[in-house]
Amino acid sequence: MLKKIKFTQIYLLLILLSAFGLRTEKVNYLAICAGGDANEIINYRFFTPISFAEMSNFKWKSDSTFTANMEDWKSYLGGKINNEDLKKIIYDASADDMQKIRAYITEGKMLDTKLKNNDVIKIWQKNKDLEAIDYLYFAKTCEIQSAKHDTWADEKPKRDFEKMRWLTDAGKKYYNEKASNPFLKVRFAYQAIRMAHYTQEYDKVVRFYDELIKPIENNTTSVIKYWALSHKAGALYKKGMQGESIYLFSRIFDLCPSKQASAYLSIRIYEQNEWEKALDLCQNNDEKATLYFIRSLNSQANGLEEIQNVLDIAPKSEKLSYMLAREINKLEFDLLDIDLSKNLLFMKNYQGEEITQAKKNVESLKKIVTRAIADNKLKNSELFRLAGGYLEYITGQPSKAKAIYQDIANKTKDNNLKNQIEVFQLALQISELKSIDDNTEDEIYTKVKAIKNEHLTDFTQNAFSRLYETKGNVGKAFILRNDVYSLKTRGDVAKVNNLLEMVTKKKPTILEKELIKDKLGDKNAESDLNEIKATFLFAEDKLEEAIKIYQSIPSNKLQKIKNDPFLVTIKDCYENCANSTEKGKYNRMLLAQKIVNLKKLTEKNNLEQAEFLLQLGTVYYNTSHFGNSWEAIDYYRSGTDLAMAQEIKQNKQDKYVSNIYFDMSKAKYYFDRCVTAALKTGDNEMAAKALMMAAKCEQNNYYLETTTGGFFIPPTYLPKYRQSFIRLKKELKDTKTFKELKSTCMYFNNVR
């Protein structure tokens, strides 16, 4: 008989409960080409009454064979062995190394010092365990033939099937002749079975398992017997015996944690008769419960039906706890969105098809849970009662939920359940908050921190953010759900002002201290926020206010402008712009001061007025998204920004984003004034340059106003967007600027 392990070991594979098949509560942005935080929560999961090692999709899990095999060998060798020494022999040493080790022990031949001092070698030197050495030599010889190939390689390595067939028979021979104990016998048998599998001799795989493993399976606790069984199960599948294969893989899944992942992935149920055959092979209802449990893990499975199936035949099965938790987690995925406007706890009415279906599933699960509790056959009735209370909670019946929680808390001795109840009670309290102040925040957040539940912590901050937004604390509300980088790219002066109030408070709350330390730069928070505020003011053209703030912060915090913000060019540049005396000369404060001075100079009606107006138009152009000095008023620039700006223009973008960085009105205003002033003084070249730059403003306005999506926007020759080019062609043909445009600019040449 195969000995059953405790089901608590099932947590080693847990995907079980990740819970959503192909859906998870977190997004790993490190694995995709997109922005965002790694492991960012997208849906809340509060029902976690059982301890699991990891919540992730089983599809991506691997077997834990290394650890299991190392523990097996440790036990065989006596237990007290350095892990690294054991690894060097079992995994790193070659077949040739094993021959040298044998010669060292039997004949006293030379051996590398590193190997000589290895704990395993020292043990073998004392007990002369040549059987183990011979087995490892054989195993490493087999490994050469069965080693996995690089899936990215152009060619797969050619296996020597003749050699592998010889190794198959040799393994059986050594099983009989070279091994005197079950630990090594089962391993020689495993290698023989494995070689037979790789040569596709499936009948031999089955026969060898029955002849070599079955007679000694009760004499060894080695995990290798289950590894060998997985080859038999695979061979049966290849022979068309799907029902038998499903059954054996289910036993491996239940009994061998190190092979649970591959066992689960190897179970393929295509036909009802295959499923019924597997059920018929089960020796008892617990084995049938395992099959229902495995089937429930499929993303397309009816989890409620599978729970009922197990309740009908094995109500004391430990698997029911996992199945119940998994189904509740699936409901949480649909009902407890991180967007609180879509979160059931904050919605006045059910909305949408998904929410409606989830509600039906909740009611169905409530009936199953209620009936199971009433039948009084459960091993873990407290967990089912806890689930019943939670189901009342997520469907908006807080009074019923509270009563159930309190009753369980008064009676249970299970600390996990007590902790779970505390999570529920806090989540319920938080969802019912109508207002927030420092005392309430400290009281609740202290309790939340003590529990150390990631989802509850995030939920709390999310709910607080919603309340502070309503209260007018827009900065604190924003930073609770975002970081300082988002503040720079999606913030505004009002948010920064609110955050400045927070960081300069005499007695900040516990949460505020965390936000200041973790998100706002700790001791530098005030100066960093002031720099952001000044830059927002710069972008709004509130230059005097911006300069005053810039002057109050350390000069090393002032952003350098790498290009010349006064550079006039036909073609926009962002990198490798032309050199000039002004290139690299400015930081944000110096540039703001320069603009203020230029504005004063343009008020004088003299010969230089046109030059100053051209400089002003150019600096406003170059500090926009389209210019070479965009970093003067912004923190981030992307090729996708234009598409976002188009949506803002069409009122499709969110409230946080501004189009100020795409605004051409100031630049165009000063270029138009420059044309007038230059023509008055007879400076046609200056007027032509101003018209050329004004034409770029018109072109950029077209980019913003067009409804054409995508990165490529076709050119336009509508008069609305070509007024400056038309005027330049009519009035200033004799200028250098006209000739340069004619030789380099397709848009200019196509204007009629």
**pLDDT tens column, 71-98:** 999 999 997 899 999 999 999 999 999 9
Q: How far apart are CA 620 and CA 693, in angstroms?
A: 11
Using CA atoms, how far apart are residues 88 and 93, in angstroms rounded to an integer?
Answer: 6
Highest mean pLDDT of the ranges 46-55, 451-460, 508-517? 508-517
Predicted confidence (pLDDT) per residue in 501-540, tens digit: 999 999 999 999 999 999 998 889 999 999 999 999 999 9
Of 35-44, 65-74, 633-642, highest mean pLDDT: 65-74
CA distance linking residue 227 with residue 139, whole number of Å: 14
At 723, the pLDDT band (50, 70, 90 cuts) reads very high
Indicate if the pLDDT at residue 494 is higher than 70: yes
Tens of pLDDT along 211-261?
A: 999 999 999 999 999 999 999 999 999 999 999 999 999 999 999 999 998
Instruction: Give Dmax over CA atoms of the chain in angstroms.
Output: 110
Q: What is the per-residue pLDDT for 704?
A: 85
Report helix, strand or coil for 160. Answer: coil
pLDDT tens for 96-149 read: 999 999 999 999 899 988 888 999 999 999 999 999 999 999 999 999 887 665
> 425 pLDDT band (50/70/90 cuts)?
confident
**Rounded CA gap, 415 and 424, in Å?**
14
pLDDT recorded at residue 395: 73
Nearest to 694 by CA among 724, 654, 717, 649: 724
Tens of pLDDT, residues 634-643: 998 887 777 7
Q: What percent of the chain has pLDDT above 70?
A: 85
> ∠731-734-735 over CA atoms, to 5°?
95
Cα–Cα dist 557/521, whole Å? 13
β-sheet bridge partners, residue 41: 26
Among residues 466, 222, 223, which one has the least CA distance to residue 339?
466
Q: Are strands 26-27 and 586-587 parallel, antiparallel or unpaired?
A: unpaired
Q: How far is CA 448 from the centre of its chain?
A: 24
| Separation in Å, CA 379 to CA 292, 316, 395 | 18, 4, 26
> Among 319, 300, 254, which residue's Cα sits nearest to residue 309?
319
Residue 388 CA to residue 559 CA, distance in Å, equals 57
- With 90 as the cut, is the pLDDT of residue 396 above it? no
